[in-house]
Amino acid sequence: MLDIILHGSQITSEQLQKTAKTADELTTSALSANNDVAAIQAFLVEAGVGSEHTLRRYRRECLRFIAWVHRYLNKQLISLKREDILAYRLFLQAPTSTWQQAGLMIPELPGFIPFPNALTNGKSVDAVMKVVGSLLSYLHAQGYIQINPAFRLKPLGENTALGHQQPKAFNREEWQFVIDGIRRLPVATAGQRNFVERARYIVAVAYGTGIREHEMATHTHQAIIQTDLGYELNILGKGAMRRLIPLNEGVVDAICRFRHYHSLDNTLKADDFPFASPIKPVKQQAQFAGNLSTRQLRAFHRQLLTKLTDQAGAEISAEFTASILSKGFHTYRHTAITHLANQPNAMIERVRLFAGHQDINTTKLYILTEREELQTYIQDHYIQW
């Protein structure tokens, strides 16, 4: 029955009613679900709205957690105590061998490994516990469980003072390396040329619009609209929030160039041409291929960064190589917002609108000072006795 959590399609209230079982002690719940799996399905319906990526991640974490509760603790969610939540957090850091193999503890999913690796990083553990906490908070609010045993769980990871966080964006040297590297990639064969053109297109759109990877993977050129202000992207993004992103000349040129490369008119059109383009975005009879999935998009990004570092070879240090390869696809968005937020006389409210942030304080996190600039800035800040 647990396989429903991972592979369940769109869940309707009627399906939840069919899955629910009668339990006298749960009659005060606001949910129609009267068993743990159905309750989790109800949570996933609301938690995953508007984001395929979020839904997939929540499904995985909920599946692992409920399997551990049922088959390790031999408990139901309603009977969980604070010490059980602390025990699960410790388990994430040192899972037993039977839970690190496929098919043993969750036979309904013979290919699924519940806990493939121990989580050694505090922030990684915190990310998992955040999903668990969200689940339990939801179930408590709906009356399905009487207490929330994860309430105000103290995080394990360290916090960093504002302005001193490890940059999530490419720094100036790294970003120039990426741009110059793409320009230098070989185009002698058709396969090489296809790769370079696709890289130029995807990177230009990701950076020029600041859209998230799941937004790129779920939108086509149908999202391009023409208004009195010019071309804009009509994006349904995180939290089911819709926003309009202006397309400047550089982004328009990159889109038109890639369309023209695939034998289409060198103009913008609202059609099904994919933003997360596969190798062949245009099929026969002008039919368009679907977008890459977010996983495939991340794989293409990793392939690109590997090509760039291999191409540079001994020109770059091992430390620089490691830093480049550590950057995920989301780094393009971080880099775009960081560059806009740190322009001279930047208007942070405009950057917030571009990024689609609800809270302007989130946008302010992108206002960074390079360590070298900070070093120079404080040179004369001392007492001379």
CA-angle at 139, arms to 135 and 143, nearest 5°: 170
- Domain identity same for 185 and 321: yes
Q: Give how many domains the chain has, as a whole number.
A: 2
Q: How far apart are CA 237 and CA 71, in angstroms?
A: 37
Q: How far apart are CA 302 and CA 308, in angstroms?
A: 10
- Domain identity same for 113 and 202: no
Of the three residues 141, 162, 196, the one that is the final residue of a domain is 141
- Domain identity same for 208 and 250: yes
Angle between helices 331-341 and 190-209 (to 10 degrees): 50
Residue 247 lies in a domain: yes
pLDDT of residue 385: 86
- For strands 224-227 and 242-246, give the pairing: unpaired
User: Would you say 24 and 129 are in contact if contact means Cβ atoms under 8 Å apart?
Assistant: no
Residue with tokens 């068993």: 35
Q: How far apart are CA 221 and CA 204, in angstroms?
A: 15
Residue 191 lies in a domain: yes
pLDDT of residue 373: 72
Which pairs count as long-range contacts for 345-354, CB under 8 Å and 24+ apart, including other chains? 353/243, 354/210, 354/245
- Domain identity same for 245 and 119: no
Residue 205 lies in a domain: yes
12 vs 43, 49, 300, CA distance in Å?
A: 12, 13, 35
- Supply the CATH number for residue 284's domain: 1.10.443
179-204, pLDDT tens digit by residue?
Answer: 999 999 999 999 999 999 999 999 99
Domain of 95? 3-141
Residue 357 lies in a domain: no
pLDDT of residue 45: 86
Residue 155 lies in a domain: no
What average pLDDT does this structure show over 366-378? Answer: 73
Residue 355 lies in a domain: no
Q: How far apart are CA 355 and CA 341, in angstroms?
A: 10
pLDDT of residue 245: 95
What is the DSSP code (8-state) at residue 314?
A: G
How many Cβ atoms are within 10 Å of 251's Cβ, its own excluded? Answer: 18
- Domain identity same for 132 and 192: no
Residue 249 lies in a domain: yes
- Tell the burial category of 110 from Cβ atoms under 10 Å away from its Cβ (0-12, 13-18, 19+): exposed
- Domain identity same for 261 and 312: yes
- Domain identity same for 120 and 41: yes
Q: How far apart are CA 340 and CA 323, in angstroms?
A: 22
Of the three residues 126, 141, 156, the one that is the final residue of a domain is 141
pLDDT of residue 157: 75
What does pTM read for this prediction?
A: 0.72
- Domain identity same for 109 and 200: no
Residue with tokens 């880099």: 335
Q: Where are the alpha helices (DSSP H) in the chain?
A: 3-7, 13-19, 36-47, 52-71, 82-93, 122-141, 172-184, 190-209, 213-217, 249-261, 294-312, 318-325, 331-341, 348-355, 360-364, 371-377
- Domain identity same for 267 and 178: yes
Of the three residues 141, 164, 199, the one that is the final residue of a domain is 141
- Domain identity same for 75 and 188: no
139-178, pLDDT tens digit by residue?
Answer: 999 999 999 999 999 998 766 555 555 568 999 999 999 9
Region of poorest pLDDT, from 9-13, 97-101, 142-146, 279-283? 9-13
- Domain identity same for 323 and 182: yes
- Domain identity same for 277 and 207: yes
Residue 95 lies in a domain: yes
Inform me whether the pLDDT recorded for 56 exceeds 90: no
Residue 371, token pair as written in the block: 């360590």
295-341, pLDDT tens digit by residue?
Answer: 999 999 999 999 999 999 999 999 999 999 999 999 999 999 999 99
